[in-house]
């Protein structure tokens, strides 16, 4: 009986929005696709001679993403991370039960009985892919490094892919997911069949966050956290905006701009830069001296040369903005700007304007980006949400002051006669602390505000900051600002979702709009029973 070799790749934090997208591509592409794009990285004999292909992973919690990946053939452990997870589908699992194996060249799993099918799985994976959120002391990561298994971060693996494909990277503090989604759907409609990695879920792809195409084009959302995008080597960079964010990693705005400068230096001589001409910080980078010298001015002696001479600026002042305001289904000036970025990038790739505008007119948004729905609340006072009548809900991922303002402005534009309530969950103590003053005035257009406790991101907070900032302090600062402005409105605080539901029931009326905003677990209220 012949023994088949198995190429095994293990994803730590596989339920994360980025890592899960990458795992999805690996599952859809199969062994041949993986070896084509990562063969030089996976140079072990097991990988080279492998006839079968297995994706495993681990995550702290069960989720729709985890269930979806299991359907594609992944074997995933849920719960506390432990080194034994590296041996998924080995030993007792192989002998005791059937397992999912993806045949080379196929994305569909088939059931294989362990040894009876002539299949052997080695104890250790050939490659570990881990999320940037995974701490260094993660038991699986520590064990893998101890065993000298190749360990690469999500960004490093995506970086390898950008070297192989014609990559369009969407970058900036805000608008990345929406812009990436828009561009992906434009290129898909144009027949360019792109591969896509995106930081959200798309309705058009049945809620998937990745797409495997057959062309040379790769569209990615290039995250700036921990300077992850320095791993990428795109042919086109779309730059939406630059401002203070992720101040747990970056020192200040000059540090952020310096890292962006280095990133833009990754563009090749024949590459293209698509940049927002309305953004003040982007314009500061591209001053007159820079345009002459082709070098970024920095505070020290090190400069980063921009090799390309191909620039495309987009602005709300350009004539196409008027037409986009007419055809776009999603509201807000920020989304007009996102669409203009897509227009510029798609034109570079030779897509006709007719196709671009048609695709953009059909775009209805992405998961938790001004996503509208209804919530039924029964049996309350006649003046409140009652009789099972639906309350209009806008779910939004916004967690930065700029994003909060943009979402509120978009809501006011779309519903000028409605009273707008906001249920907001601040995301991270460090972000709330460093951007505190900006958060205070970011809710000015809300008619009522309910603040939840700050969402604590494990491994990214300090005890010192937790003592310095809270939702109660933010609420008080907003009340004091309102008093100075002569504004009277409810500013409330709650500790959990149950308390939030009670305040919604007792304060929000049928005719109101409720925006549920934040990057933590606040979205769970949408599936609650009131």
Binding positions for ATP: 172-178
Cα–Cα distance for residue pair 64/80, rounded to 1 Å: 18
Helix (H) or strand (E) holding 355: helix 353-362
Going by the DSSP 8-state scheme, the letter that residue 301 receives in this structure is S
Helix (H) or strand (E) holding 24: helix 17-38
Count of alpha carbons within 13 angstroms of residue 189, beta-carbon side:
21
Strand partners, 483: none
């999912």: which residue's tokens? 100
- Percent helix, strand, coil in the chain, to 5, is 40, 20, 40
């140079």: which residue's tokens? 43
**What is the C-alpha radius of gyration for the chain, rounded to an integer number of angstroms?**
24
Cα–Cα distance for residue pair 236/171, rounded to 1 Å: 10
* Phi, psi of 75, rounded to the nearest 5 degrees: -105, 115
Strand partners, 6: 52
Provide the CA 322 distance to its chain's centre, in angstroms.
29
Structure tokens at 383: 């003046």
Going by the DSSP 8-state scheme, the letter that residue 295 receives in this structure is B
Going by the DSSP 8-state scheme, the letter that residue 374 receives in this structure is E
Q: Mapping DSSP to helix (H, G, I), strand (E, B) and coil, where does residue 149 land?
A: coil
DSSP 189-235: HTT---EEEEEEEEGGGTTEEEE--SSSEEEEE---GGGGGGG---S
Strand partners, 218: 167, 195
DSSP 472-514: HHHHHHHHHHHHHHT----EEE-SSHHHHHHHHHHH--TT-EE
- Residues making up the annotated binding site are 172-178
Q: Are 27 and 69 in contact (CB under 8 A)?
A: yes
Q: Are 167 and 323 in contact (CB under 8 A)?
A: no
Distance (Å) of CA 202 to CA 345, 371, 510, 517 = 20, 11, 29, 19
Cα–Cα distance for residue pair 46/40, rounded to 1 Å: 13
């Amino acid at each position: 009986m012949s023994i088949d070799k198995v190429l095994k790749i293990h994803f730590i934090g596989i339920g994360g929005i980025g890592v899960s997208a990458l795992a999805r591509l690996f599952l859809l592409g199969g062994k041949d696709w993986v070896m084509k794009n990562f063969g030089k990285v996976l140079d072990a004999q097991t990988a080279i001679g492998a006839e079968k292909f297995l994706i495993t992973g681990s995550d702290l919690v069960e989720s729709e993403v985890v269930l979806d990946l299991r359907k594609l053939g992944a074997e995933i452990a849920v719960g506390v991370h432990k080194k034994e997870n590296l041996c998924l589908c080995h030993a007792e699992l192989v002998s005791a039960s059937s397992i999912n194996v993806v045949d080379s060249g196929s994305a569909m799993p088939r059931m294989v009985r362990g040894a009876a099918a002539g299949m052997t799985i080695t104890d250790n994976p050939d490659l570990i892919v881990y999320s940037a959120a995974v701490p260094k002391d993660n038991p699986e990561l520590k064990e893998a490094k101890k065993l000298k298994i190749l360990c690469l971060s999500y960004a490093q693996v995506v970086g390898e892919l950008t070297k192989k494909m014609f990559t369009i990277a969407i970058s900036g503090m805000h608008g990345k997911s929406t812009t990436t989604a828009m561009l992906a759907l434009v290129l898909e409609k144009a027949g360019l069949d792109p591969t896509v990695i995106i930081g959200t879920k798309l309705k058009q792809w049945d809620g998937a966050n990745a797409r495997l195409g057959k062309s040379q084009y790769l569209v990615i959302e290039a995250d700036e956290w921990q300077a992850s995008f320095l791993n990428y080597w795109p042919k086109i960079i779309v730059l939406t905006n630059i401002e203070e964010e992720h101040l747990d990693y970056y020192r200040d705005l000059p540090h952020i701009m310096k890292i962006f400068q280095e990133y833009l230096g990754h563009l090749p001589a024949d590459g293209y830069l698509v940049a927002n001409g309305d953004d003040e910080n982007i314009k500061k980078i591209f001053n007159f001296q820079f345009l002459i010298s082709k070098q970024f001015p920095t505070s020290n002696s090190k400069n980063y040369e921009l090799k390309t001479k191909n620039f495309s600026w987009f602005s709300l002042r350009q004539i196409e903005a008027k037409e986009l305001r007419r055809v776009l289904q999603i509201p807000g000036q920020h989304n007009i700007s996102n669409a203009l970025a897509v227009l510029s990038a798609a034109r570079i790739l030779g897509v006709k304007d007719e196709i671009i505008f048609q695709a953009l007119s059909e775009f209805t948004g992405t998961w938790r980006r001004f996503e509208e729905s209804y919530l039924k609340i029964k049996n309350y006072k006649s003046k409140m949400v009652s009789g099972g009548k639906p309350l209009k809900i806008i779910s939004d991922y916004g967690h930065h002051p700029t994003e909060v303002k943009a979402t509120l402005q978009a809501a006011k534009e779309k519903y000028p006669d409605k009273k707008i309530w906001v249920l907001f969950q601040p995301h991270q103590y460090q972000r709330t602390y460093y951007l505190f003053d900006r958060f205070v005035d970011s809710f000015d257009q809300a008619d009522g505000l309910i603040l939840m406790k700050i969402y604590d991101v494990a491994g990214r907070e300090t005890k010192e900051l937790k003592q310095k900032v809270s939702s109660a302090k933010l609420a008080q600062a907003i009340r004091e600002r309102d008093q100075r402005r002569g504004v009277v409105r409810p500013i409330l605080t709650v500790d959990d979702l149950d308390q939030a539901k009670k305040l919604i029931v007792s304060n929000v009326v049928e005719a109101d709009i409720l925006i549920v905003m934040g990057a933590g677990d606040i979205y769970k209220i949408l599936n609650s029973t009131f």
